[in-house]
Amino acid sequence: MAQKRKQVVLDGDKAQVVFDLGGGGLVGFSLTDREHPACGLTPLAWNNPAPDQLDAREMAHFLVLDRWCKPTAAEMKNGMPFHGEAPHSHWKIIKKPVTGKKEVATTVGVELPLAELSFSRTMKLRGTILHVEEKITNPKPVGRAYNMIEHVSLGPPFLDETVLVDTKVAKGFTQEFKPRLPVPEEPMVGWPEYEYKGYQINMRTMTNHAGPLVTSYIMADDQEYGWATACHPGKQLLIGYIWKTKDFPWLNLWRHVVRGKPKARGLEFGTTGWLQPFPMLAKKGSIFDRQLMDWIDAKQTVTKKFTAFLTAVPADYRGVADLKFDGKKIRLIEHGKRKKRELLVE
């Protein structure tokens, strides 16, 4: 019998989560209501392998750790991969899925021998809300810089030209393959529209214009939570993420178009907003008064949290103008000048 990929499945009363141990990708997050038109459809569908492909790979929602970029030439020679070891390693189950009265939970983890870090992720599915707690541990007697990005990657069939991406950010800049040194953050861009190389870009949607590949944003100083949503009105489905800005001060939005069609949309929140190796980050220091790398001390464990959620939406839904979160309930306020509908996710 042919081998199949090792996965962990959380079957809740309203949603299902599928986690792939070959690279640590969250490859499935879908509604289970058979009456809903998007039942079983996961927005997290980029580079997902076939069942008989057993390699560890970057896919769907994967973890970037301990860097968001290519390594230096010397690091690459010694085996450090692009985006670090986490998405290129085989993860393990620390605690098998356990179903309680209100939630189903599991814990998975991975060891990063080159980075000399350990990582664990506890996932708790309640209804259509997934609460995630992550722990990064440095077992060594010295501290070090590191970065981590929650690389949320959306793809077809959920992703198409009609998907609306929404967020609340203060300002940003476009990433270039050859960064504009010494000030890569100029010109500053806003949300959702700005001009890019003669084109008018609307970051809420994806058209047949491929650029910019990545635009990086910060949240306002007084903003406790960052958030991003992607809504497909035709499929009546919305996926969203919420995180504390003290944990993840950056939101990086990736756009990938192939032959005029959207192939991937990244909602990447994390500890850095500049896609460069550590020597460049250390030299630059900060952008928009935000750090470009994080620090973990000797023998320290750092804890970070985020929340993912799904909800059904009306077929004429106009997207999310604002989001309110009290740690349990999520309230979505609709876009538009007409009467704004509110959706409650709990």
The domains located in the chain, with CATH, are 7-345 (2.70.98.10)
State the Cα torsion 94-95-96-97 to the nearest 10°.
Answer: -130
DSSP classification of residue 77: H
Contact 235, 257 (CB under 8 A): no
Look at residue 211 and tell me whether its pLDDT is greater than 90. no
Q: What is the value of pTM for the model shown?
A: 0.96
pLDDT of residue 307: 98
pLDDT of residue 177: 78
Contact 85, 66 (CB under 8 A): yes
Contact 140, 117 (CB under 8 A): no
Look at residue 64 and tell me whether its pLDDT is greater than 80. yes
Contact 90, 96 (CB under 8 A): no
pLDDT of residue 90: 97
Amino acid in the structure at residue 4: K
Tokens of residue 68, six digits = 């968001």
Pairing of strands 320-325, 330-334: antiparallel
74 alpha carbon, distance to own chain's centre: 28
Q: What is the spatial distance between Cα 17 and Cα 57, in angstroms, rounded to a whole number?
A: 18
Q: How confident is the model at residue 1 (pLDDT cuts 50, 70, 90)?
A: low
User: Which residue in 40, 86, 47, 50 sits closest to 67, CA to CA?
Assistant: 86
Q: How confident is the model at residue 147 (pLDDT cuts 50, 70, 90)?
A: very high
| Residue-wise DSSP of 97-166 | EEE-SS-EEEEEEEEETTTTEEEEEEEEEETTEEEEEEEEE--SSS-EEEEEEEEEEE-TTT-STT-EEE
Look at residue 122 and tell me whether its pLDDT is greater than 80. yes
pLDDT, average across residues 104-114: 98
Q: Which of 208-222, 281-295, 311-325 has the lowest mean pLDDT?
A: 208-222
Tokens of residue 197, six digits = 């190389």
How does pLDDT run across 172-205, given as a tens digit for each residue?
Answer: 999 987 888 899 999 999 999 998 888 888 999 9
Omega prior to 66 cis, within 30 of 0: yes
